[in-house]
Amino acid sequence: MELAKILVVDDAAFMRMMIKDILSKNGFEVVGEAADGAQAVEKYQELKPDLVTMDITMPEVDGIEALKRIRAIDSSAKVIVCSAMGQQAMVIDAIQAGAKDFIVKPFQADRVIEAVKKALG
């Protein structure tokens, strides 16, 4: 089976590192990273990943806007949003905009993998 290709989007480099670490240890391939929503859309078009993990709160273009733009390009795009505690309203917006699932920071490896596997279905 080919490894699922994942694009990791977060404005914090250490958060991207944490997610990359969890994913690669569990047999997923991180094909790219982006530090903001605009970059995420560019990388999505360039890399055509199987899945995107998308931070909600980022400068310039936030995760929800990036999610909408990616889904406008590819209606079958699979995106999981990452949020801090207490961002329920934003998570609901993201799910309505087409996110497959959400994971809450601080990340728990098993929850991340469960969400990824479920989204890839």
Per-residue pLDDT tens for 29-81?
Answer: 999 999 999 999 999 999 999 999 999 999 899 999 999 999 999 999 999 99
Mean predicted lDDT score pLDDT of the chain: 95
| Per-residue confidence (pLDDT) for residue 87, from 0 to 100 | 84
- Rounded CA-CA distance 117/81 in Å is 14
Judge whether residue 98 has pLDDT over 80. Answer: yes
Structural fold of domain 5-120 = Rossmann fold (3.40.50)
Query: In degrees rounded to 5, what are phi and psi of residue 107?
Result: -70, 135
Average pLDDT over residues 107-119: 96
